Chain A
Amino acid sequence: MYRKTRLYGLTYEFHSLKEIMAKANESRSGDDLAGISAENMKERMAAKLVLADILLSDIRNTPLVDPDTDDVSQLIENNVNEEVYQVVKNWTVADLREYILSDDQMGKDLLTLGSGLTSEMIAAVAKIMSNLDLIQAASKIKIITHCQTKIGQQGVLASRAQPNHPSDHLKGMTASLYEALSFGIGDAVIGINPVIDTTENISALLHETKKVIDHFQIPTQNCVLSHVTSQMRAIEKGAPADLIFQSLAGTQAGNESFGISLSMLDEATAMINEKGTATGPNRWYFETGQGSELSSDAHFDIDQVTLEARCYGLARKFSPFIVNTVVGFIGPEYLYDSKQVIRAGLEDHFMGKMHGLPMGVDVCYTNHMNADQNDMDTLSTLLGTAGVNFVIGVPMADDCMLNYQSLSYHDIATLRSVLRLDPAPEFKCWLENIGLMENGKLTQLAGDPTFFLQNV
């Protein structure tokens, strides 16, 4: 494996693939905090140069975490499509980048390619891609998934309505949901982050969202984003859930700190397939985000881009309906400012798509991060051009429960208008039937939550 290069008269030598992978990352505070980032720009470029020449087989043969002690490593290793891998194993990471960006490769070719790559290979190529490279490559890949409805088609930008409430008040949640629906938001999922993690409360939220869906015959799916075990208890007791949710980490130790195991995810899969209320085959909703492994001291000195890719390696085994990175939620010690959040959002979206995942992004930031709503305008527009499957909306971008900012319902309607994108087909049809949309545009009636009171 190449570990040495000369740049401007200086020799740069790296001691491990782990070191090369970390130092080749674009700058981010989380890698600095972990003490694994490049010392300066030239060292960063030297690492990229060395990484570009590394063979894919070398990456596969140099596990960053031992598969014998880490079940995520093992799962990624076991799920490689060997037929595809045999074709590409002697490529360098540079060859991989150029193949992905070549005009000859369509989305379906990239999906086939992705099945023969490990998560580490996908992370490696992202490190030598520019922001526009990441957009160009991801925009070719379309991934359609099917829960109660289908999303991911060409020309579609779907959305999660996130009608959170600081005390899980059902009427408060519903009021916020009406606002979302009135802007045409909620086709990917109506998904609530609960405050109270009891079976009773989760059941109540599932019942209430299902009631609204049934009453207005909305072609979408519901989900309550609590710990997977508490959702399972609610579903066991008969609560109606189309999707089941869990946050994922990229190492076994990280997942243990989330209180989950692979066998737990298997059990949840069996339960949602048997007792879930959806009709389609894709019933998982996963969230991820760079930095979570470091925050639980489960990172093994691996950089946060590579760890994030490993989350996707884990997620793809479960054929989820939707996956999103909560890119700016974690805080400035992992992604310091808007430049880092924008970069991470584009990386995560690309890496997810290369894994064949129906990738969305929660375009967001906290108040102690050096970013503001203008930066979210920028990132969401970039992701819209990159073909992101869905984004998340909250009233006026302000989540009054989680105390962070995402996109406004207005913003998603605007992205659709500017980028000429539609809601998911069945949802669009519903919006037209009830009079909120006409010829692909919101009608005069749209943007008013009391619309749904007239029709109760």
Chain B
Amino acid sequence: MENHQLEGLRKFTPARIGVGRTGTRPLTKDFLSFRIDHAAAVDAVYGEVSSELLQEFNLFAVETCYGTKEEYLKRPDKGRVLSVEGEQLISERCVRNPQVQIVISDGLSASAINENLLDVYPALLDSLSLYQIEVGTPFFVKGGRVACMDAIGEILNPEAFILLIGERPGLVCAHSLSAYMCYRPRKGMKESERMVISNIHRRGTPPIEAAAHIGTLVNKMLEQKASGVSLVV
């Protein structure tokens, strides 16, 4: 096998090519490396966000109605509804009618928060303060789905909303983060009103760059009083 030729092919794709075989089966190293990446992805789904990390940013935690991880995976609708205790805690602790509300949620990858929050969150606060946008009281939602922003919107009535949430993990990256944004979140909101910056991690959209981009978009939402397909960007 001509190695430089193989390298020539491999440089064009992240696909696992040129791995060879024994009989019709893959070689041990490649086979185990595939299983390791799958293990990381599964652990990201079933993992927990570090409580020290949440404390560091002074984020209190509330839960949705998901109950168990199994139920969370089977019933996306339950991850869109806050628990009664969660609603209460949000009502007690958060500033009403903020210009922008930031919420962090594990979603389908706790690793996405653990790996990226340290980079994304301070940069995001900087980016928003650059536009002189006032931020409400941020908090963490355990077992959240994207549309939990609507339920939170009903309680706090923010003008704009930023949800940093873990994406469904892939084998290439198990800790990719998404930022979902919208103007005036409320129940019955259309999916087309939401905006997203996805693939946020060090080897994807770099966290600092993503934070700057989110700031710009939210500023436009506030200026145009709109989000999603009707926002002119």
Contact of B16 among A29, A332, A396, A404 (CB under 8 A): A396
| Interchain nearest-CB distance for B11 vs A (Å) | 9
Q: Which residues of B contact A450 (CB under 8 A)?
A: 1-2, 5-6, 9, 18
Q: How far is the CB of A456 from chain B (nearest CB, A)?
A: 11
Complex contact A410–B74 (CB within 8 A): no
- What A residues does B35 contact at CB under 8 A? 372-373
A184 to B45, CA, bound (A): 35
- Comparing B50-58, B165-173, B177-185, the segment that makes contact with chain A is B165-173
Interface residue tally of chain B, by bracket?
A: 35 or more
- Decide if the interface of chain A is mainly helix, strand, loop or mixed: mixed
Q: What string of 1s and 0s marks CB contacts (under 8 Å) between A158-169 and chain B?
A: 000001111001
Which of B19-27, B95-103, B155-163 is the interface stretch? Answer: B19-27
Pair B12/A414 contact, Cβ less than 8 Å? no
A410 partner, pick from B2, B14, B26, beta carbons under 8 A: B26
Knowing A172-B13, A413-B24, A449-B18 touch, does A333 contact B2 (C-beta < 8 A)? no
Chain A, Cβ-Cβ closest to B3: A450
Contact of B34 among A166, A367, A398, A449 (CB under 8 A): A398
Q: Judging by beta carbons under 8 Å apart, are B42 and A176 in contact?
A: no
The reply to whether A175 and B13 contact each other, CB–CB distance below 8 Å, is yes
The reply on A403 being an interface residue by CB < 8 A is: yes
A68 to chain B, nearest CB (A): 30
B86 part of interface (Cβ distance < 8 Å): no
- Given A176-B17, A333-B75, A395-B15: A373 in contact with B34 (beta carbons within 8 A): yes
Q: Are B20 and A447 in contact (CB under 8 A)?
A: yes
Q: Is the CB of B169 within 8 A of A367?
A: yes
Among A171, A410, A416, A442, which residue has the most Cβ atoms of chain B within 10 A?
Answer: A410
Which of these, B38, B44, B76, B77, contacts A405 with CB under 8 Å?
A: B38
B187 within 8 A of A: no
Q: A403 near B15 (CB under 8 angstroms)? A: no
Q: What is the minimal beta-carbon distance from A44 to any residue of chain B, in angstroms?
A: 18
Task: Indicate whether B37 reaches chain A with its CB closer than 8 angstroms.
Answer: yes
Bound state CA distance, A29 and B18, in angstroms?
A: 38
B12–A417 CB distance below 8 A: no
Alpha-carbon separation in the docked complex, A245 to B172 (Å): 28
Q: B222 at the A/B interface (Cβ < 8 Å)?
A: no
Contact of A169 among B13, B42, B168, B169 (CB under 8 A): B13
Tally of chain A residues near chain B (CB < 8 A): 49
CA distance A398 to B6 in the complex (A): 19
* Chain A residues whose C-beta falls within 8 Å of the C-beta of B48 in the assembled complex: none
- Determine the chain B residues whose CB is within 8 A of the CB of A390 once the complex forms: none
Which B residues touch A171, using CB under 8 A? 12-13
Tell me how far the C-beta of A190 lies from the nearest C-beta in chain B, rounded to whole angstroms: 14
Asked, given contacts A396-B30, A403-B170, whether A368 binds B16 with beta carbons under 8 Å apart, the answer is no
Residues from chain A with Cβ under 8 Å of B41 in the complex: 367
Q: Is the beta-carbon distance between B10 and A175 smaller than 8 angstroms?
A: yes
B73 within 8 A of A: yes
Given A396-B30, A397-B34, A398-B37, does the pair A179, B75 have CB atoms closer than 8 Å?
Answer: no
Which of these, A164, A169, A395, contacts B12 with CB under 8 Å? A169
The 8 Å CB contact of B14, one of A397, A400, A404, is A400
Q: How far is the CB of B14 from chain A (nearest CB, A)?
A: 5
Given A175-B9, A367-B41, A414-B24, residue A332 in contact with residue B171 (CB < 8 A): no
Verify if B110 is at the interface (C-beta below 8 Å from A): no
Taken residue by residue from 374 to 402, chain A's Cβ proximity to chain B (1 for < 8 Å, 0 otherwise) reads as 00000000000000000000111110100
Select from chain B the residue with minimum beta-carbon distance to A414.
B24
Given contacts A332-B73, A396-B30, A450-B18, 19 further A-B contacts (CB under 8 A): A29-B74, A33-B77, A172-B13, A367-B42, A367-B44, A368-B168, A368-B169, A396-B19, A398-B34, A398-B171, A400-B16, A403-B172, A408-B26, A410-B21, A410-B24, A413-B21, A447-B21, A449-B18, A450-B2
